């Protein structure tokens, strides 16, 4: 080692600059994604109701559920419980299914992968329950006479 190396030491090497970090897209928390799917699913409720009304099926003759078929909330399944007397005309159900899929795509860009139908005898029994007795209106007696 020479005396000059002792007197004039080499400068310390400069640290290499770090390459810029690539930002990952922010991943939405699961709660936010679920809330988005629920909101999108609820957009299909009026579409199903309108299709049933167009087919002449009263709301007391059916119940339905809309299920998300993907994590993004763009594909859905519709499950419909029908009263037994509605099932007589299956071509009508095919038209309702097509209308639901068409309207979901046109209005919101959603795909309805399928509509599933089943008979629910409880809907028929619920329609046969007699109405509750009417309570007297304000100013009426039990016999309907005005006071």
56 contacts 35 by C-beta, under 8 angstroms: no
pLDDT at 110 over 70: yes
The pLDDT value recorded for residue 112 is 96
The pLDDT value recorded for residue 92 is 87
Domains recognised in the chain with CATH numbers: 31-127 (3.30.70)
The pLDDT value recorded for residue 123 is 82
The whole-angstrom separation of Cα 96 and Cα 136 is 42
Q: What is the percent of the chain with per-residue pLDDT over 70, rounded to a whole number?
A: 71
Mean pLDDT in the chain? 81
The whole-angstrom separation of Cα 44 and Cα 39 is 9
The pLDDT value recorded for residue 147 is 47
**CA proximity to 33, closest of 72, 70, 67, 66:** 72
Structure tokens at 133: 């007795």
């Amino acid at each position: 080692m020479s005396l000059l190396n002792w007197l004039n030491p080499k400068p310390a090497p400069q640290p290499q600059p770090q390459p810029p970090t690539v930002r990952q897209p922010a991943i939405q928390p699961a709660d936010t994604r679920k809330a988005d799917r629920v909101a999108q699913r609820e957009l299909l409720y009026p579409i199903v109701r309108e299709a049933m009304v167009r087919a002449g099926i009263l709301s007391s003759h059916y119940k339905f559920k809309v299920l998300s078929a993907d994590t993004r909330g763009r594909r859905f399944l519709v499950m419909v419980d029908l009263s037994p007397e509605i099932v007589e005309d299956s071509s009508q159900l095919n038209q309702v299914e097509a209308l639901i899929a068409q309207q979901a795509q046109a209005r919101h860009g959603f795909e309805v992968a399928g509509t599933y139908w089943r008979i629910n005898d409880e809907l028929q029994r619920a329609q046969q329950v007699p109405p509750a007795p009417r309570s007297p209106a304000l100013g009426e007696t039990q016999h309907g006479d005005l006071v």
